[in-house]
């Protein structure tokens, strides 16, 4: 249950299980990594971590999406308090529970100016998303079609492009952010 993110300078990784662990390092030409700090434990709400994902916002702060809770996994996102390779104190309001409906997959997508768009869903259900403005959460929006287990999303500026297989037919669909969220910026 691991995920990695390369922000153009640093490689970031997260490992999940009973706890979340985070580390950042600089990849070297010889295949080694110069680590910024030792691996760090990230404190979560319940401590039963599933399917962590990781990304870094435009200000260098790490975001980790994950499902938390053993028998009923709820979607959460957490943000680092430092942008120097150490986790620091988690900011107030985090970890943030995105929905009171159980969901397994949470994917934070960096936008511009420290903003984020976080996608979350369960296999066979619509893909939902919420925008972080840098100081507050927007309202939840969702696709009209249900998604299979896997999808891909990427930001181009403040527009998020989402591609997924529909469920149960598994035909390929593509949605731009305005279909999920009317105005991401």
Q: What's the pTM value of the predicted model, to 2 decimals?
A: 0.88
Q: What digits encode the pLDDT tens for the residues 6-42?
A: 999 999 999 988 889 999 999 999 999 999 999 999 9
Q: What is the mean pLDDT of the chain?
A: 88
pLDDT greater at residue 44 or residue 6: 6
Distance from C-alpha of 109 to C-alpha of 63, rounded to nearest angstrom: 9
**Cβ distance 81 to 63 under 8 Å?**
no
Domain boundaries in the chain? 1-97, 121-185
Ordered DSSP codes for 44-98: -SSS-EEEEEEEE-TTS-EEEEEEE-SSSPEEEEEE-S-SSSS--SPPTT-SEE-
CA 169 – CA 107 distance, rounded (Å) = 23
Nearest residue to 124 via CA among 96, 143, 97, 98: 143
φ/ψ of 23, rounded to 5, equals: -155, 150
Does the structure show a pLDDT above 80 at 126? yes
């Amino acid at each position: 249950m691991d995920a990695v993110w390369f922000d153009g300078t640093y490689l970031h990784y997260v490992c999940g299980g009973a706890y979340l662990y985070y580390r950042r390092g600089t990849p070297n030409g010889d295949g080694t990594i110069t680590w910024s700090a030792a691996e760090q434990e990230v404190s979560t709400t319940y401590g039963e971590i599933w399917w962590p994902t990781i990304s870094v916002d435009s200000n260098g702060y790490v975001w980790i999406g994950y499902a938390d809770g053993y028998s009923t996994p709820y979607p959460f996102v957490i943000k680092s308090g430092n942008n120097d390779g150490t986790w620091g104190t988690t900011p107030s309001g985090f970890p943030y529970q995105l929905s009171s409906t159980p969901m397994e997959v949470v994917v934070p997508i960096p936008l511009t100016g420290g903003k984020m768009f976080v996608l979350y869903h369960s296999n066979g259900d619509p893909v939902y998303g919420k925008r972080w403005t840098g100081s507050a959460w927007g309202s939840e929006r969702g696709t009209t079609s249900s998604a299979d287990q896997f999808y891909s999303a990427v930001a181009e500026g403040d527009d998020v492009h989402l591609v997924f297989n529909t469920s149960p037919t598994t035909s390929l669909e593509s949605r731009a952010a305005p279909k999920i969220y009317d105005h991401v910026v």
